[in-house]
Chain A
């Protein structure tokens, strides 16, 4: 939109490699002040690396980056802060045990003779709240805040440091629909106020809704830069993968009328913990996909943990194929044929430092052991077989699983459980943080598992995904089932139920979405 102004950020010939593998090559790019500029591409395309180069977190091997015409050499976060650049990453960089206020002024405490001047800090904070319209308690501990609020704290901190460039790496992946809309609006507001906003996101609708201009990367090369208004989700995907791909959701096949109920929960509750679950009844038949929708924090993951026995229920029972699990534990659930693909592959799913093969075999060790010794050949055959069927892309099964891309890690996680031939598969966030191609593959995988007669429960923050993949969708709010929809339910109805009647959902910027095809079963 501001083509004629002198560029705020100018990138010339930037390249970066890690251990001989080149992840960025010859990037040239100009970004105007007050522009929202999005970087898109598949996982491994180099978009996050480029963002980190611009944000001062990663040092380029070649080329140069200029701010306002002056070439910079940022070698530390301290330099980046001095340049007015703030990088907001997925992991977050907050100190969980400290208060909101302390986090916002972290490293820049206003001090008098070495003593922290609380009043001055507080004044700065209040001014920022007024500017952004956020509503955050300054004395709350960051660890007690929702993910969305934590992100707001990071934005406040960036502003407190006088950031002129704020770079967001996948900011919405962990947010609710409501929080997403708020964040996108904030980006627009920041840009309108003259801040340059950089954004890396997998969500193309979101990118198109918020960005002025965008850059598409593919395998470390810049393949397109231009106005966002000229693009559609389909045209972006073409740029990203270099050809047209099928971004349609597969539809699950109809459930036979005589299909038995494989998973049943009655009155399942957990009254303790930060996110209690109350009195959930559910039944999933063989070949059926049950979706669970709800806001982040509505108890979705907690419900799956109860079904799997990973947390102890305070009331209620879980039955598999009519047999109640009497002493719930992951082992008992697994013995009954239940598998759980957990929400966070890094924290709950994979042992990142161990190999692909070891991770794949981890849930079924005794199946391929004699007298306690692992039969390596049998293990290798099994791992390679299931790796093929889930299309894990890895040259060497002995390589650490942490070195794989997000999509491949997720496939390894699925492979681990498929090796057990589960009858009931619980899947929490099947495609979080994976690239477009892998996402489609995982969708097909879920549908195929249902076709094979397994009972599948899918939790996802992406409403499109959960509606498209499931036969039925349960909506959770504050740990209770508040409604059930068929697969043709209008998206708005599900969202408003998830939010509750007292709080209407905001308009979603992605109504034009719809590369999603949803045929009725």
Chain B
């Protein structure tokens, strides 16, 4: 660049770069919390730090984790996707139904395509209708659930009998003894992380979420960015749906009801700003691990799971409050 412009007389008084003390604590506080719980559980139980438990833990985290990745990408760009769990159900049902015709693998591919198409449709609806995404996706999610009921006629969709074993492939052990579901989750997490942190698309995503008008006046087509974010969320939902279906050996219209909010909770616990423009994919992943860990800890410690929901809700509140306090102090 050779923009030659001379600086005029200046005053040193205007130079005051303000650092953000406390920024580091805020940036990685959630990771510290995760490690603390892991350490605490490792010492207080014999069972936590066993290979089988860790494999199970990651396998359980994979569904919410995948949804949290999609939710994070949407929230970063300034929208909410409340269709995720409905998209999950429809995709899984499409996967099973198409799989009956063309085989299990073909069915899985069809499920992912269905997720992408539904996500793109959600995005287009939100962008074109100009309705607030929260309301727009809420309404759309009801339509998608309805579609799931229509496709299955209210029944549970099973793969053909001779496909049943292969259909469970995502529960099979894979590298390092992790389940295939876990491996898929981790691969998607790494890919989404790279996409968000290192590509021009990622930059646009943050800019649109941080200030849509500034992004538009910088030549960014904000509509396309939002549609892309919903599409990615749809694909993540479809993959999560396949994991659930593969585990259960079936798919049905009511599956994963309410998971959207878990996913958003995971994203926010991780430290992604609900206002958009700030956050990261790894934060959603950590948030999902933390949520899963709470349930796991209850089991291992033999605590009464009656209190699990109360505890989970309390921890979400605590995490978000502490995050807010640290942010205000940094200002």
Q: Is A351's CB under 8 angstroms from B214's CB? A: yes
Given A245-B9, A374-B200; A363-B219 close (CB under 8 Å):
yes
B134 within 8 A of A: no
Nearest 7 CB-CB pairs, A to B? Answer: A351-B210, A444-B8, A393-B15, A395-B17, A437-B11, A365-B200, A391-B7
Task: Name the CB-closest residue of A to B10.
Answer: A437
A373 within 8 A of B: yes
Q: Is B13's CB under 8 angstroms from A241's CB? A: yes
Contact of B14 among A352, A358, A435 (CB under 8 A): A435
Which residues of B are found within 8 Å of A373, using beta-carbon distances?
198-200
Which residues of B are found within 8 Å of A240, using beta-carbon distances?
13
A353 within 8 A of B: yes
B216 within 8 A of A: yes
* Complex Cα–Cα for A430 and B9 (A): 17
Contact of B203 among A348, A350, A374 (CB under 8 A): A374
- Write the B294-331 contact mask toward A (1 if CB under 8 angstroms, else 0): 00000000000000000000000000000000000111
Which residues of A are found within 8 Å of B206, using beta-carbon distances?
351, 354, 358
* Complex Cα–Cα for A393 and B17 (A): 7
Contact of A441 among B10, B219, B330 (CB under 8 A): B10
Q: Is A362's CB under 8 angstroms from B216's CB? A: no
Q: Is B21's CB under 8 angstroms from A20's CB? A: yes
Q: Is A440's CB under 8 angstroms from B20's CB? A: no
B211 within 8 A of A: yes
Cross-chain pairs A/B with CB under 8 angstroms, 16 sampled: A18-B331, A19-B18, A19-B20, A219-B13, A242-B11, A310-B217, A340-B217, A351-B214, A353-B210, A354-B207, A376-B198, A419-B3, A435-B11, A437-B13, A437-B14, A441-B9
* Complex Cα–Cα for A45 and B215 (A): 31
A residues apposed to B, CB below 8 Å: 18-21, 42-45, 218-219, 240-242, 245-246, 250, 308, 310, 330-331, 334, 340, 342, 347-354, 358, 361-363, 365-366, 369, 372-374, 376, 382, 385-386, 389-391, 393-396, 399-400, 403-405, 407-408, 416, 418-419, 421, 435-438, 440-441, 443-445, 448-449, 452
Q: Is A405's CB under 8 angstroms from B9's CB? A: no
Give the B interface residue count (CB, 8 A): 46
Contact of B3 among A241, A374, A389 (CB under 8 A): A389
Which residues of A are found within 8 Å of B199, using beta-carbon distances?
369, 372-374
If A21-B18, A219-B13, A394-B17 are given as contacts, then 11 extra A-B residue pairs at C-beta distance below 8 Å, sorted by A number, are A18-B18, A390-B3, A399-B20, A404-B17, A407-B14, A419-B3, A435-B11, A441-B7, A448-B4, A448-B5, A448-B6
Contact of A418 among B3, B20, B202, B219 (CB under 8 A): B3
Given A330-B217, A350-B214, A373-B199; A362-B7 close (CB under 8 Å):
no
B277 within 8 A of A: yes
Task: Name the CB-closest residue of B to A243.
Answer: B11
Q: Is A408's CB under 8 angstroms from B331's CB? A: no
Task: Name the CB-closest residue of A to B22.
Answer: A19
CB distance from B329 to the nearest CB of A (A): 7
* Complex Cα–Cα for A342 and B218 (A): 10
Q: Is B207's CB under 8 angstroms from A362's CB? A: yes
Which residues of B are found within 8 Å of A448, using beta-carbon distances?
4-6
B19 within 8 A of A: yes
Which residues of A are found within 8 Å of B210, using beta-carbon distances?
351-354
Task: Name the CB-closest residue of A to B276.
Answer: A353
Q: Is B14's CB under 8 angstroms from A445's CB? A: no
* Complex Cα–Cα for A310 and B216 (A): 8
CB distance from A469 to the nearest CB of B (A): 13
Q: Is A382's CB under 8 angstroms from B1's CB? A: yes
Given A218-B13, A331-B219, A351-B210; A441-B277 close (CB under 8 Å):
no
Which residues of A are found within 8 Å of B1, using beta-carbon distances?
382, 385-386, 389, 418-419, 421
Which residues of B are found within 8 Å of A242, using beta-carbon distances?
11, 13
CB distance from B178 to the nearest CB of A (A): 28
Given A310-B217, A372-B201; A44-B13 close (CB under 8 Å):
yes
Q: Is B5's CB under 8 angstroms from A389's CB? A: yes
- Write the B189-229 contact mask toward A (1 if CB under 8 angstroms, else 0): 00000000011111110110011011111111100000000
Which residues of B are found within 8 Å of A421, using beta-carbon distances?
1, 3
Q: Is A362's CB under 8 angstroms from B3's CB? A: no
Q: Is B215's CB under 8 angstroms from A241's CB? A: no
Q: Is A369's CB under 8 angstroms from B200's CB? A: yes
Given A373-B198, A395-B19, A440-B9; A362-B215 close (CB under 8 Å):
yes
Task: Name the CB-closest residue of A to B203.
Answer: A365
Which residues of B are found within 8 Å of A374, using beta-carbon distances?
198-200, 202-203
Which residues of A are found within 8 Å of B17, using beta-carbon distances?
393-396, 399, 403-404
* Complex Cα–Cα for A242 and B10 (A): 12
Task: Name the CB-closest residue of B to A218.
Answer: B13
Q: Is B6's CB under 8 angstroms from A444's CB? A: yes
Q: Is A330's CB under 8 angstroms from B13's CB? A: no
Q: Is A44's CB under 8 angstroms from B16's CB? A: yes
- Write the B117-149 contact mask toward A (1 if CB under 8 angstroms, else 0): 000000000000000000000000000000000
Q: Is B203's CB under 8 angstroms from A361's CB? A: yes
B72 within 8 A of A: no
Q: In residues 236-274 of chain B, which contact A (Cβ within 8 Å)? A: 273
Q: Which of B16, B203, B204, B215 has the most CB of A within 10 A?
A: B16
Q: Is B8's CB under 8 angstroms from A351's CB? A: no
Contact of A241 among B6, B11, B200, B217 (CB under 8 A): B11
